[in-house]
């Protein structure tokens, strides 16, 4: 993607070290905190089907001891200073992050480097963590409004790692060994595969110095594994009986990648359809008819593909009515463009939500990393607003007719087995 309005902030800096680590930072001198993330270019999409859940499991194991810290010492290291240390795994990245006062930049970098570079993966901790993750999988399965999205992805991208649950499957996770963990860690946790992003009251030169001092990898190896090309399935409905009180519906299909120019009209369309309490779906299904408690549309963007879909939870007796209304609202956006008045309101809502969401250092850090990972460049908030402002009703109408095709959607329905 080429951004048509370029306004590189003087507070943004980027450095690529000789060993391949990329460092991006944004200095914000109006805060007294910092957020630092170590982004590894791997996630569940890079797993073989027979190792599903390994990226997430490895993320857990990074907190289970290093050459100089016990698991308890790892979590206490920043918490005792008023900071916070955590991690998450996605489909295409894994992130380890720290939030702290600005006086603890060096300490934050050091602890992140210790867990990413020096974890030892004790056998006893692997055995324990397998049980922990198995309980986490059970908890998700007991939460149908969350579990339905795992099944939706699986049906949309069958037999492809992109469709597999990030957390993994019980029969696979239960067989993870230390050798398997070490092999995955060796494949992906090397300097060229790392982006370090930081935002807050910091100096880029100090950040570089600390990263060079503490991030030492035993190898410069870069995995030869490639993510598999993915093709979305179409036109199938899966009805699954569960011992639950509410019926859950998730339907959707393929959309655009993170770097597509069509992403911005789609963001506006999503905000209009199901992006808040004033959205069409919320107003039509909940406020006017009282058929649902929760209803919304959603987007997922990946490097080469995306997802557009809708979700609703309702009483089983109202399933047909809710399904019919969802179809009506989806088809409606393909039949005529939005009016200029509605478009202006939706743009203002979307811009406000995006800008307000970027007030914190953690969100700014995350944006820095994702823009580097997907675009290889800085994207300012002004750039983002510019891309939204230039969206027209015709753009949205064109995008809607490309992707909003409910007759081709994959649909998953959880319904009561009682």
Are 16 and 188 spatial neighbours (Cβ–Cβ below 8 Å)?
A: no
pLDDT in tens, 162-176: 999 999 999 999 999
79 is annotated as an active-site residue: no
Cα(83)–Cα(103) distance, rounded to whole angstroms? 11
Catalytic one among 59, 154, 254, 329?
A: 59
For 20, phi and psi rounded to 5 degrees?
110, -10
Cα(370)–Cα(195) distance, rounded to whole angstroms? 9
Q: What is the CATH number of domain 12-214?
A: 3.30.830.10
Mean pLDDT, range 206-227, rounded to an integer: 84
3-class secondary-structure state, position 263: helix
Residue 226's contacts (CB-CB under 8 Å, 6 or more residues apart) are none
What band does 418 get if pLDDT is binned at 50, 70 and 90? low
Return the bridge partners of 414, or none: 240, 248
pTM (two decimals) = 0.94
Q: What are the residue ranges of helices labelled H in 5-70?
A: 54-61
Length of the chain: 418
In terms of average pLDDT, the best of 88-102, 236-250, 346-360 is 88-102
3-class secondary-structure state, position 99: strand
pLDDT at 111 over 90: yes
pLDDT at 388 over 70: yes
3-class secondary-structure state, position 185: helix
pLDDT at 4 over 80: no
CATH 3.20.10.10 fits 236-416, yes or no: no
pLDDT in tens, 121-178: 999 999 999 999 999 999 999 999 999 999 999 999 998 999 999 999 999 999 999 9
Cα(125)–Cα(123) distance, rounded to whole angstroms? 5
- Cα 362 to Cα 36, 307, 368, distances in angstroms: 8, 25, 10
Task: Tell the burial category of 274 from Cβ atoms under 10 Å away from its Cβ (0-12, 13-18, 19+).
Answer: buried
pLDDT the model gives residue 308 = 98
pLDDT the model gives residue 221 = 66
- Cα 283 to Cα 67, 177, 247, 296, 396, distances in angstroms: 56, 50, 20, 10, 20
Domain with CATH 3.30.830.10 in the chain: 12-214, 236-416
């Amino acid at each position: 993607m080429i951004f048509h309005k370029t306004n590189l902030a003087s507070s943004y800096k980027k450095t690529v070290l000789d060993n391949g680590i990329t460092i991006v930072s944004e200095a914000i001198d109006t805060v007294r905190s910092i957020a630092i993330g170590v982004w590894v270019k791997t996630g569940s999409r890079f797993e073989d089907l027979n190792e599903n859940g390994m990226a997430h499991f490895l993320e857990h194991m990074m907190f289970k001891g290093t050459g100089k810290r016990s698991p308890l010492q790892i979590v206490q290291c920043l918490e005792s200073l008023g900071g916070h240390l955590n991690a998450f795994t996605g489909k295409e990245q894994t992130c380890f992050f720290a939030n702290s006062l600005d006086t603890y930049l060096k300490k934050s970098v050091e602890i992140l480097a210790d867990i990413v570079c020096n974890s030892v993966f004790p056998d006893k901790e692997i055995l324990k963590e397998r049980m922990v993750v198995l309980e986490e999988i059970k908890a998700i399965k007991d939460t149908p409004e969350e579990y339905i999205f795992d099944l939706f992805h699986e049906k949309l991208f069958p037999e492809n790692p992109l469709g597999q649950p990030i957390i993994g499957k019980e029969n696979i996770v239960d067989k993870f060994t230390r050798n398997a963990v070490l092999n995955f860690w060796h494949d992906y946790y090397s300097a060229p595969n790392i982006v370090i992003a930081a935002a807050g009251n910091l100096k880029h030169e100090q950040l570089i110095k600390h990263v060079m001092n503490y991030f030492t990898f035993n190898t410069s190896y870069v995995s030869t594994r490639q993510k598999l090309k993915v093709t979305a399935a179409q036109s199938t409905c899966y009805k699954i009986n569960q011992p639950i009180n509410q019926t859950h519906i998730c339907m959707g299909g393929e959309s655009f990648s993170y770097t597509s120019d069509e992403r911005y009209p789609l963001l506006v369309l999503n905000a209009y359809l199901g992006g808040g309490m004033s959205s069409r779906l919320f107003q039509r299904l909940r406020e006017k008819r009282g058929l649902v408690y929760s209803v919304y549309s959603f987007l997922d963007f990946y490097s080469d593909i995306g997802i557009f879909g809708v979700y609703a939870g309702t009483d089983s007796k109202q399933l047909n009515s809710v399904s019919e209304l969802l179809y009506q609202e989806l088809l409606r956006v393909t039949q005529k463009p939005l009016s200029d008045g509605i478009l202006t309101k939706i743009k203002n809502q979307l811009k406000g939500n995006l800008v307000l969401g970027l007030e914190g250092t953690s969100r700014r850090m995350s944006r820095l990393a994702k823009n580097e990972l997907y675009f290889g460049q800085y994207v300012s908030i002004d750039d983002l607003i510019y891309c939204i402002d230039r969206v027209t009703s015709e753009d949205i109408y064109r995008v809607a007719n490309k992707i909003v095709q409910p007759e081709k959607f994959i649909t998953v329905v959880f319904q009561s087995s009682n």
